[in-house]
Structure 1
């Protein structure tokens, strides 16, 4: 077997780096709360001075900024924003609305990606807060 073939086999069998439990908890928090945010919930964590949240207003602004930037970059070659507004007023089919919204965002996953980006800076703190709450509940017997 050639050295190149051996190297290819070794490369093909590489495993991804291990994921720590902390990283896994953050990933799970991000996934769950990105979906909650998209569905209209406010995502919050902490208490009093350590309290934080990401609201629908934050998501709306981030989506608007994303769509505006795509238009500035010349990505809206179909005048999709105009089509979307007209469709939302009831002058077109709802499938056109979805198609134009996805086109403006750039992909079907862009909305979730935007929600994840809004939440990422807060994941470690939110998970640490939840773990502390869980420990307190166990101690108190809840």
Structure 2
């Protein structure tokens, strides 16, 4: 079944989502780097089983120079030796927020050992944004393009 072309059906709303994405990218790059930003987008997309976004963020991570082993290992990041402490905390936060788990004081304290307040706000909004995109894409199911 052909679904609505969400980009052209409501261009004003999509324009705001795209502008938000650009702003998050800028703030992420300044605050904690694009690597963490791409890792959380890819991990959230894996959890949400958003094929379109997995393909897109795999490609974007590769364009940033991300090692294929880290991309492949992302679904089992806890058991892989490829991620540093800051990335691990970002991925754990990503999983907790994506799955609507509680962020208790103990975990929040761990986060503040690697991220300052501004970085935590940016990281939280970035995770929220990719979850939003995943839901839009899962609703309208654009064609998945895994071009090499």
- Normalised by the length of structure 1, the TM-score is 0.26
Tell me which of the two structures has the higher relative contact order, counting C-alpha pairs closer than 8 angstroms and 6 or more residues apart.
Answer: 2
Asked which structure has the greater CA Rg, the reply is 1
* Higher strand proportion (structure 1 or 2): 1
